[in-house]
Each structure stands twice: as structure tokens, then as C-alpha cells.
Amino acid sequence: MVIEERDVKDGELAGLLEAAFQELVARYGSEGRSTVHGGARYLVASVDGRGVGCGAVQPTEDPYVGELKRMYVAPAFRGRGIATAVLSGLEELAAGEGYRAIRLATGERQPEAIALYERRGYRSTEPYGKYINDQLAHCYQKTLA
């Protein structure tokens, strides 16, 4: 497996992001695609030269806190440690950007994501931004070394 940074215009990354969105629509309905802000940095995990997972870190209003976005692994490649590897890469990327913490929002209908984040030391935190009144959202934060 190779984890590498890719430009947002990368075609393979675009395909992974679209697959991620379609999965969210299947789980939650089509009530809104969350936005990724300018300045986001994306990682793609490849197996045998094929992109199979991705994630991003984007800046927030707090210059010391990054936000995790777009974590996704293609269904056929789940259970192989790819999400953990992408998450580790994103944490390293965030620390390199000077972030002291990283936050994220996931949803009640994604128990596998919740389990991953909790295993990796993310702790439940107050909802933020568009998630404040979202009854299905679970927000987490982790202090970076």
C-alpha cells in the first residue's frame, strides 16, 4: 500500500470522493454535501497502483485545529488497515501544518468510523458548525503530539 498526497483535481481522487458521497446518500439521504474548504490537503491510499481510499485535512477558524474530511475506503478493500493508515498519514500531515489538534464529524449510521476514531484516541466533543443541531452527528477531537 502506498499513501500519497494528491491534488484535488486528480481524477482518481475525484472518483473516490464521489463514491464516498454516494455512500453517505445511501446512509443518510441527500440532505446536503458538506463542503471542503480551500487549503485542504488530500491523501490517497493505493493498492497495486489503484486508489482505494482517501481523506483530507482542512484548516478551521482556529489556526491550531485542523478538520478531518472525506475519509473513505472502497468497500472491497475494507478491513485491511487502509483507513488506519490514511488516518495516520492525515495526522502527520496536520501536525506538519502546525495543528495541535484535529477534529471531525461522523454520523450515527457509521459505527465502523466511530469505532476507528475511538480506537485511535479521538474523544467525543461538543458539536461544532453545521453539526450543532444535527441529531445524527458525532463530533470528535484528538490532541496531536
Percent of the chain, pLDDT > 90? 88
pLDDT of residue 34: 66
pLDDT of residue 29: 85
In degrees, rounded to 5, the angle at the alpha carbon of residue 67 between the alpha carbons of residues 90 and 9 is: 65
Q: Which of the 8 DSSP states describes residue 35?
A: P
Residue 49, pLDDT > 90, answer yes
Residue 36, pLDDT > 90, answer no
Query: Rounded mean pLDDT of 96-113?
Result: 96
Report the domain count for the chain: 1
pLDDT of residue 6: 97
Beta strands 65-73 and 137-143, pairing class: unpaired
Round to whole Å and give the CA distance between 90 and 76.
Answer: 22
Cell of 52: 482505494
Domain containing 101 equals 2-143
Which pLDDT band holds residue 145 (cuts at 50, 70, 90)?
A: confident
For helices 82-96 and 111-119, what crossing angle results, to 10°? 50
User: What's the pLDDT tens digit per position in 114-133?
Assistant: 999 999 999 999 999 989 99
Round to whole Å and give the CA distance between 136 and 134.
Answer: 5
Query: Rounded mean pLDDT of 49-78?
Result: 97
What pTM was computed for the model?
A: 0.94
pLDDT of residue 31: 62
Query: Rounded mean pLDDT of 55-63?
Result: 96
User: In the block, which residue shows the cell 471531525?
Assistant: 104
Which CATH number do you get for residue 115?
A: 3.40.630.30
Round to whole Å and give the CA distance between 103 and 66.
Answer: 6
